[in-house]
Structure 1
């Protein structure tokens, strides 16, 4: 059976930077777009031979703001991937977009080129909250963008939302969710605001600006999970919800440990047993690809045992969770200590068992970093307990002729 592969293409250009964003993206660099396009096309051609024997079933344009990059460039990149790689006819092809940088004409061209899924950064339905984080659009523009997606006959739409924004309270969050539900997207990604060091928002908080606290964010999250379930959106990952059949196939590759290739500055890959990333330097990436310079930032082979840790860390982000014999079969490791810890979590209401699979509850997802850390600690102890007897047996064997010798002082 042909192994499936995802391709991620990073578009680092933005009209403006939002106050909370710490992704590698740049404003005011439009003059580098043409050179960047040449570099991406060259990198696609260079990379494709290594993917022989794989079939690409997801392509994802992330950023930055890919819609700001322009439909002609995106369409050219889609065509290049289809020419160089074995791309499934049913491939999911996603483009991230901001509401202020799409229209129906543009989206029709992209649909004809093969883009069949749009991920739109709505973030909130409250214009005051949008201004507070310097988003370059209004909620009215979000509504217009959704209408343009539908006019272009794109049938798979995802909307992003953020809770915990400056000035946001439970009432405004609930109103945002209701207004977003009225737009009837097929998919929703709902994230708690994180204040990343070095961002303008971090500087604002350092100067004393107050944001909704952890308890308020927890209440927002739990209310949202319940409300989205009522509206027909099934939770399948900590922050992701979808109508039946509309889970993000590309993002599931990350959480399920499937192979993917990334292209562009700051893009990550997990391919051929190796994880690697490219330098976060637009000019360096362009010159490196086109002139033969170094563009790899970090690269490492991932041992099987470490993959076992990733299995716990990534799968427990999803509502599918983990399963004993899946774990034993893939990693040859003892599941019993992990199951004992999960049973403790179940007692507190943080985890649940469905048939043979364990997963976190919404309450568990709220503290998933802590819980996954405990599972990894248990896994490490179990691994050591298995290795020590083998090590003692190996080092404790006597060499031929040593029998009867007294130990040296």
Structure 2
């Protein structure tokens, strides 16, 4: 059976830059779109033959604002992927959109080209909150975009929200969630606001602007998890909720440690046991691809044993969690020290066990960075002890080799 592979295509262009955004995105660079398209197509054509034996079952156009790039360019990219890769007939093909940059004609064109999933950046239903982020749309445009998507026969629609915004309280967050639920999406991504260094929001906060504190964000999060569950959206990752059968297959590749290849400045890949990324610079990427120069920024070969840390970090972001024998079999490592810590978390209400599988609870997700960090430290200590034992010629235990 062919190995399953995901493809991520980064579209860095935006109409305007949002104050909180730390992704590699650019406003006012429309004149570079055509050359960027040429570079992407050349890069896709060059990479396709290297993935023989793999079948692409997810394609994700992220950004930036892919819908701002235009449906003609997106269709051309998808055609090139279909020609150069083994694209499965039931592949999940997602395009990220802003509500102000789509209309019915565009969405119909994308749907005919094979796009079958849309991710709309909504963030809030409150006009003051949207304005505080410098979002380029209002909620009426969100509703219009959802209506257009349905008319274009999209049956898999995801909406993105952010809580913990400037001036937001629990009542305001509840109102946003209820208005979004009324749009009946199949999927919701709900992220707590993070102030990233170097962003305009970081500057505003440094000048004294107040945000909801950690306790207020925790209240928003826990209410949201309960409310979305009542509405039929099952939580499957810290920030992601879906109706049955509508989990993001592409994003699950990241969290489950599956293979994917990326294209574009700042895009990451995990393929053939190697993780690598491309330069976070539009001009360097274009000139490098078209001129035969270097576009790889970082590259490292990840030994299987080191994947054990990623297993903990990524799987514990999901409600599927981690499993004892899965861990022992894949990484030849002792699970007992981890289980002792997880039992402590269980007593605190941060983790729960189903047979031999462990996952964090919503309360545990709130402090997941701390909990996962502690588990990683325990794992590192256990690995060091085993290494010392081997050097000293001590016996192997627990069936490890």
Q: Same fold (TM over 0.5)?
A: yes
Q: Name the counterpart of 2:53.
A: 53
Aligned-pair distance for 1:389? 1.4
Aligned mates of 1:232, 1:354 — CA distance in 2: 22
Which residue of the partner structure matches residue 254 of structure 2?
Answer: 254
Matched with 1:172 is 172
1:362 Cα deviation (Å)? Answer: 0.2
Aligned to 1:377: 377
- Determine helix, strand or coil for the equivalent of 2:392: helix
Match of 1:16 in 2: 16
Q: Which residue of structure 1 lines up, in the alignment, with residue 310 of structure 2?
A: 310
Task: Name segments (4+ residues, structure 1) moved above 6 Å.
Answer: none
Q: Distance in 1 between matches of 2:376 and 2:274?
A: 21
1:321 lines up with 2:321 in the alignment: yes
Measure the CA separation in 2 of the matches of 1:224 and 1:196. Answer: 23
Q: How far is the alpha carbon of 1:355 from its aligned partner?
A: 2.4
Mapping for residues 262-273 of structure 1, pairs under 5 Å = 262-273=262-273
Distance in 2, Cα, partners of 1:113 & 1:184: 24
Measured in 1, the distance between the counterparts of 2:124 and 2:320 equals 28
1:300 counterpart SS class: strand
Distance between the aligned counterparts of 1:353 and 1:166, measured in 2? 37
* Residues 242-286 of structure 1 deviation map (CA, whole Å, 9 limit, x = unaligned): 000000000000000000000000000000000000001101100
Aligned to 2:158: 158
Aligned: 1:35 with 2:35: yes
1:223, 1:167 → 2: CA distance?
Answer: 18
Deviations 1:373-403 (A, max 9, x none): 0000111111111111111129xxxxxxxxx
Structure 1 residue 356, shift from structure 2 partner: 2.1
Question: Matches of residues 10-409 of structure 1 in structure 2 within 5 Å?
Answer: 10-393=10-393
Q: Deviations over 1:339-374 (max 9, x none)?
A: 111001001000000122100000000000000000
After superposition, the C-alpha distances for 1:298-324 in whole angstroms (9 at most, x for unaligned) are: 000011221000000000000000000
CA offsets 1:48-92 (integer angstroms, 9 cap, x no match): 111000000000000000000000000000000000000000000
Q: Unpaired segments of 5 or more residues in structure 2? A: 395-401
Q: Give the alignment's TM-score, normalised by structure 2.
A: 0.98
Q: Give the Cα–Cα distance (whole angstroms) in 2 for the partners of residues 193 and 300 of structure 1.
A: 31
**C-alpha distance in 1 between matches for 2:154 and 2:180:** 18
Q: In the aligned structure 2, how far is the partner of 1:389 from the partner of 1:357?
A: 28
Q: List gaps (5 residues or longer) in structure 1.
A: 395-409
Structure 1: distance between partners of 2:258 and 2:36: 28
What do residues 167-199 of structure 1 show as CA deviations (whole Å, max 9, x unaligned)? Answer: 111001000000000000000000000000100
Distance, in Å, in 2 between the alignment partners of 1:9 and 1:299 is: 18
In structure 1, the partner of 2:399 is none
Q: In the aligned structure 2, how far is the partner of 1:354 from the partner of 1:220? A: 27
TM-score normalized by the length of structure 1: 0.96
Counterpart-to-counterpart distance in 2, 1:253 and 1:304: 17
Q: Distance in 1 between matches of 2:179 and 2:90?
A: 32
Q: For 1:303 and 1:213, locate their aligned partners in 2 and report how far apart those are by CA, in whole Å.
A: 40
Q: How many residues align?
A: 394
User: For 1:231 and 1:303, how far apart are their aligned partners in 2?
Assistant: 42
CA deviations 1:124-145 (Å, max 9, x no partner) are 1101100011000000000000
RMSD in angstroms over aligned alpha carbons? Answer: 0.7
SS of the aligned residue for 1:56 comes to: strand
Distance 1:242 1:50 in 2: 34
Please give the per-residue CA displacement for 1:91-119, whole angstroms capped at 9, x wherever unaligned. 00000000000011100000110100000
In structure 1, what is the Cα distance between the partners aligned to 2:385 and 2:197? 39
Alignment partners' CA distance in 2, 1:151 and 1:108? 8
